[in-house]
C-alpha cells in the first residue's frame, strides 16, 4: 500500500506561524538577511556572478536559490534562468524557527515557511532506519512562544528520492487534473486520493519520496511500512490517505 500526505493549508500544530531566525526591525526574516550578508561579505566573486543579473538583485536571488534546495529534487533545474540546484552548503540551512502565534504543541512532521519540512527526532530515526542515507536532515531550533523549546529536537528534512511512478491512466479521472505537458495536480480529498494509482514496480522499496510529475512538493508519499511505524510510535503527522498500488 502507498500513502499520500498533503501539506497543511492552515496554521496549527502542523504549520506553525513564525519566521526563520526571527525578524529584524524591517520585518525581514533573519535567515534571508543572514544569507544576504553572506552573499555580500563572504561569497567568492566567482560564485557571486552566478546570481548577478546586472540589476543588483544578487543578494535577493541567492536566498531564494537556497530555499529551493530544501523543497526540490537535489540537482534539479530551477529559476527563471534555469540552473541546477547545487548541494546544500554549511552556511545555508536555517538555524532556528521562531513561532510568533499559536502552536502550543507540534506534530512530528511540520511545514515551515516556503513549504520547507521539519521532523522531530523520533520520526527522523524511523526514516533513517528505513531509508538510510537517502534524505538530508539539518538541525533546527524551534522556539515556541516565551522562548521555550519543544521536548524533542527538530531537523529540516530534504527529501532525496523523486520517482516517476504515478499512473494517470490507472487513476480515476476526477482525482487529478493536468498542469501542463505530462504534469499533474492531485485533488486533496480522501475520496480523490484513493483514486490515484502508482506503479509498485517503479517505486519499489522506497519508503519516503515525491513524484516528479504530480503536484510538485504538495504531495509526499509514504510506504505502508513507514506509515505503520509512524502510527505504532504514536507520532502525529498531517492528513494522509491510502492510494492505489498497481
Same domain flag for 178 and 190: yes
Strand partners of residue 208: 222
pLDDT beyond 80 at 79: no
Task: Kindly report, residue by residue over 15-46, the tens digit of the pLDDT.
Answer: 999 999 998 778 789 999 999 999 999 999 99
Q: What is the pLDDT of residues 92-119, one digit of tens each?
A: 999 999 998 877 789 999 999 999 999 9
pLDDT tens per residue, range 151-179: 899 999 999 999 999 999 999 999 999 98
Which domain-ending residue is among 124, 158, 192?
158
Cβ atoms 106, 17 nearer than 8 A: no
User: Do 167 and 235 have their domain in common?
Assistant: yes
End-to-end Cα spacing for the chain: 10
Domain count, the chain: 3
Tell whether 196 is covered by a domain.
Answer: yes
Q: Is 15 a domain residue?
A: no
Q: How much is the pTM?
A: 0.93
Give the whole-number percent of the chain exceeding pLDDT 70.
98
State whether 79 and 102 are in the same domain: no
For residue 203, pLDDT over 70 is answered with yes
In three-state form (DSSP H/G/I as H, E/B as E, the rest C), the secondary structure along 109-156 is: EEECHHHCEEEEHHHHHHHHHHCCCCCEEEEEEEECHHHCCCCCCEEE
Are 106 and 134 in the same domain?
yes
- The percent of residues above 90 in pLDDT, for the chain, comes to 82
pLDDT at 239 over 90: yes
189, part of any domain: yes
CA distance 216 to 72: 8
Q: Could you give the 3-state DSSP secondary structure of residue 215? A: coil
49 assigned to some structural domain: yes
> Has residue 146 got a pLDDT over 80?
no
Instruction: Report in angstroms the alpha-carbon separations of 89 from 86, 93, 130, 183.
Output: 8, 8, 26, 30
pLDDT confidence tier of residue 149, bands split at 50, 70 and 90: confident
Of the three residues 117, 135, 158, the one that is the final residue of a domain is 158
Q: Which domain holds residue 65?
A: 22-84
Show the cell assigned to 25: 526591525
In a domain, 44, yes or no: yes
Residue 49 has pLDDT above 80, yes or no: yes
Residue 185 has pLDDT above 80, yes or no: yes
Owner of C-alpha cell 494509482: 197
pLDDT at 215 (0 to 100): 79
Say if residue 123 is in the same domain as residue 136: yes
C-alpha span between 25 and 4 (Å, rounded): 40
Q: Is residue 145 part of a domain?
A: yes
Amino acid at each position: 500500500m502507498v500513502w499520500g500526505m498533503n501539506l497543511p493549508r492552515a496554521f496549527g500544530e502542523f504549520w506553525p506561524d513564525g519566521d526563520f531566525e526571527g525578524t529584524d526591525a524591517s520585518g525581514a526574516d533573519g535567515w534571508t538577511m543572514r544569507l544576504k550578508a553572506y552573499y555580500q561579505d563572504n561569497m567568492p566573486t566567482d560564485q557571486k556572478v552566478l546570481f548577478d543579473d546586472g540589476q543588483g538583485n544578487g543578494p535577493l536571488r541567492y536566498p531564494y536559490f537556497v530555499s529551493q534546495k530544501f523543497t526540490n529534487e537535489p540537482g534539479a533545474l530551477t529559476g527563471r534562468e534555469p540552473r541546477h540546484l547545487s548541494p546544500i552548503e554549511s552556511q545555508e540551512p536555517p538555524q532556528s524557527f521562531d513561532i510568533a502565534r499559536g502552536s502550543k504543541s507540534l506534530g512530528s512532521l511540520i511545514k515551515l515557511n516556503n513549504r520547507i519540512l521539519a521532523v522531530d527526532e523520533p520520526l527522523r530515526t524511523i526514516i533513517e532506519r528505513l531509508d538510510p542515507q537517502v534524505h538530508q536532515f539539518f538541525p533546527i531550533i524551534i522556539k515556541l512562544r516565551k522562548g521555550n523549546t519543544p521536548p524533542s529536537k527538530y531537523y529540516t528534512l530534504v527529501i532525496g528520492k523523486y520517482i516517476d511512478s504515478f499512473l494517470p491512466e490507472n487513476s480515476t479521472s476526477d482525482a487529478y487534473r493536468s498542469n501542463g505537458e505530462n504534469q499533474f495536480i492531485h485533488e486533496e480529498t480522501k475520496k480523490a486520493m484513493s483514486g490515484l494509482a502508482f506503479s509498485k514496480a517503479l517505486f519499489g522499496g522506497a519508503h519516503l519520496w515525491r513524484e516528479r510529475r504530480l503536484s510538485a512538493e504538495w504531495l509526499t508519499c509514504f510506504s505502508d511500512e513507514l506509515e505503520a511505524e509512524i502510527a505504532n510510535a504514536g507520532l502525529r503527522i498531517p492528513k494522509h490517505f491510502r492510494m492505489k498500488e498497481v
